[in-house]
Chain A
Amino acid sequence: MTTVVIVGAGLGGLRAAESLRANGFVGEITVIGDEPHMPYNRPPLSKEALKSGLDMSTLEFRRKASVADVTWQLGSAVVACDLSARTITLADGSIVGFDALVAASGIRPRDFNIPGPRNGRHFLRAAADAHALREQLVPGARIVILGSGFIGCEVAATARQLGCEVDIVTLDPVPMYRPLGTILGAGMQAHHEEHGVRFHFGRSITEFTGHDRVTGAVLDDDSSLEADVVLEAVGSVPNTQWLAGNNIDLSDGILTDSSLRVVGSPAPFVAVGDVARYENALFPGVARRIEHWNLPTDTGKRAGATLATLLTGGQPDQTPFAPMPSFWSDQYHCKVQSFGLPGIADEIVIVGGEPSGECVAEYRRDGALVGVIGINSTSALVPYRTALMAG
């Protein structure tokens, strides 16, 4: 029987499996995941689950009935792959064969290997990470957060709500600088500062102090901060190391064509979610890897259709792939929501409201709308999404 192996048991892996079934694939599907959990929703890990506790039964995605016969091989890391031989190697040395492959291996937090003790330093990606961090966020605990992206800012907001002292160290001039830009970033900075978060902009951490456990951080201006717990949240790295040696483009994630088929693979092979780099027809000319929550679903559906077609000898749909990138973030009483790619804009125009309150901002590149961000303005974004979809 034809076997599809899906590497990665997150949202993208789940959606790819569901799509294979929806597109008529009746062979075997095995999903291999390095975490011990069925696919679950990660965004709450920096917000309500960090605040109120992790209940995996509510975090797990509901799975469609069509994937009831899928084999889930959890707690198994994939360490190598031979696309010509059509095999993957697991961490325990066992080898698994496949007829077709899906890469849904996601990303991991970037580790700068800053000198100092490891104990007390955290990253946040998996449920186990959130569980470990949560145990440290007791009232009065001093947390130093390196990085002011979404995860750093969301954890800062949660930590303040839990009664912790929060310092954020970032090279950027405002929080969430890359996605939001200066104006909305400054607006969100005001919310954080109202809630008692201290920012150290334009700074990095050169070392952590302490013997058995971290007790502080030394910044690059030789100032220092005391810390009971540290979160390192400076970007992420795509998990592609298991594909090394296959002569495919892994320069930033896995390069695919617009049907999510991996370019240059000798075996039927698609990539989905955070690890896939592809050209979006809404923002043409550049293949991008985008880590927004909605894209594992969009890419998983398309990739499943592609693979099901390839396995029956057909030609995949070559219709341009044009999913609408979208992100959201909850911090305090602020709901930040985006459509498009605001990060590629060269001009930001506030079209309504105030950046420190409710507002809508248009993001333009060469004069054309490429994105929109609203703070507590969901309804006002709807016509912008429609305009962005129309291109």
Chain B
Amino acid sequence: MSIKIDVDMTKCQHYGQCCFEAPTVFELDADGKLNVLTHEVDEDMREAVEAAADVCPMQAITLTDI
């Protein structure tokens, strides 16, 4: 099973908390804007991307099993 990652950019305030939990998926660019590096990860990344979704102050990250 894979996990689909959606970030609601109308909610995202670019706090970057997700980047610390899943640095291979989320990064802040030099201007402080969030980049989502991949929108789909394998099961072995579940703990990291769930942690990233949990710590988002705006609750902008949605994960879906696909």
Contacts and interface: CB of A to CB of B under 8 A. Distances in A.
A142 interface: no
A330 B57 CA distance: 12
A382 B62 contact: no
B15 A328 contact: yes
Contacts, number: 39
A377 B32 CA distance: 7
Nearest to A44: B58
For the residues of A in contact with B, the DSSP-based class is mixed
A110 interface: no
A235 B9 CA distance: 33
Contact of A379 (B17, B30, B59): B30
B55 A330 contact: no
Contacts of A335: 13, 15
Contacts of A297: 54-55
A382 B17 CA distance: 10
A378 B55 contact: no
A114 B3 CA distance: 54
Interface string B35-66: 00000000000000010011101010010000
30 contacts: A15-B54, A41-B57, A41-B59, A61-B59, A62-B53, A62-B59, A62-B62, A64-B50, A293-B57, A294-B17, A294-B55, A324-B20, A326-B17, A328-B15, A328-B57, A330-B13, A335-B13, A335-B15, A337-B15, A377-B32, A378-B14, A378-B16, A378-B28, A379-B16, A379-B28, A379-B29, A379-B30, A379-B31, A382-B28, A385-B20
Interface of A: 15, 41, 43, 61-62, 64, 293-294, 297, 324, 326, 328, 330, 335, 337, 376-379, 382, 385
